[in-house]
Chain A
Amino acid sequence: MTFKQWIKSPKAYVAAALAVYLLIASLGTLDPKGLINGAISVGVSIVLDILFSLIEKRKRILPDGAAVTGLIIALILGTTTSWPEVALTAAVAILSKHFLVYKKKPVFNPAAFGLLMSVIIFGTGQSWWGAFGDLPVWMIGFLLIGGYAVTNRVNKYPQLFSFFAFYFVLQLLMGLYHAGDASDALRPPFINAALFFGFFMLTDPPTSPIKVKDQIIFGALSALAGSVVYALFGGLIYLFIGLLIGNLYKFLISRFSADNAKAKRPAVTSPKSY
């Protein structure tokens, strides 16, 4: 693949958008720690991804997906997170990408899986600083511009609109019935988190479905699961849990359709002996 071809690929779109966000957010917060965490996270992700790809003898060893995973992790983890925790979070994400697989594709979004495990195992905090959660509200515009470009490139609008429609309706109902803290969820930094999540994590092609109907169900399921977790427990990991539930749905429909295809295939008869 030439550079010209690569730059038009979905992964290049996402990687470019996230790299720009890393720079903008670092300048906005005047905090170089985010850049350092970014280098660590991306570095560990790429090295491990290449290593596993070599072990698995993959034909295509281009760690652009790993770089995206590393960038997402760095943009979500708090900038004060220690470097070993950043590195281990990236390592867990890449491990999940290579070990929790179905038909050579990861079952779970690697970044979401790594970040969720990071909270559970290391107790890391998440600030979503790369989604401009601590910066002026108008900077959400950057998320929308990059987000729409990426969603268009990966052709995931049905999923995106389904997710946001269900997510906002559920938050509206929570607000009306005073269940959970919808006022927080709809305002910075949580709305930044939801937008970043919807545009750059939910739309990940290998871990989300292709068909329109499946995309709509996937988006709705992720929004429902995430909102229920938020209403019951609050916290910051509700979006990841929602996505992993959506990933499970995608895994199940892939498996179900594979089983169906196998069942419909005519039985292979043994060659006649002469």
Chain B
Amino acid sequence: MAKMKNKWIVLCSAAVTAVYAAGYITTADQASRQQYADVSTTPAASAVPAVPYSGNSGAPQTADSSPSSTPARSIYKDGTYTGMGSNRRGSIQVTLTIANDKITDVEISRFGMHYSESDVAGLPSEVLHNQNSQVTNVSGATYSTKAFQSAVQDALMIARNA
């Protein structure tokens, strides 16, 4: 087979690049919305260290828990909170329910990663068990694990008492 001439290589490359550029521009709005989500959630979440729960987990209580002292100020507000965690491979949204400084429910409310959701299906129960955002890395699903962890931290940040 004869080699393709340079002129045709340049022309075809230009045509392919033009089609790519058209697609890139067409999807710019969608991409910027995702980028906004990345900027607004991930840095905030990652800037905050994992917040260990110190409430009703059976762990040694602080002096504030003494009945004679003034009631301890809770770390979190009761309620249901959503958090987002994103990276280049997609995003995960989690919904946390907090009652009396305890994480009572965790669910993945939106899974937008380019991997299988089943990879991280066990992580919500780990959060419930550990009562913080620290979960074991799922081998082969590192990006999903990190996004999940960021999402939990993000939700905990929102739930924190000022």
Contact = CB atoms under 8 A, between A and B. Distances in A.
B70 interface: no
Interface string B63-76: 00000000000000
Question: Size band of the B side of the interface?
Answer: 20 to 34
Contact of A186 (B23, B115, B116, B143): B23
Question: Size band of the A side of the interface?
Answer: 35 or more
B136 to A, nearest CB: 13
Interface string A224-257: 0000000000111000000000000000000000
A133 interface: yes
A127 interface: yes
B19 A165 contact: yes
A125 B114 CA distance: 10
B15 A125 contact: no
A183 B142 contact: no
Contact of A161 (B16, B20, B140): B16
Contacts of B26: 172, 175-176, 182
Interface in A157-174: 157-158, 161, 164-165, 168-169, 171-172
A213 B122 CA distance: 49
Interface stretch (A17-25, A36-44, A78-86, A99-107): A78-86
Nearest to A187: B31
Contact of B142 (A78, A157, A165): A78
A168 B142 contact: no
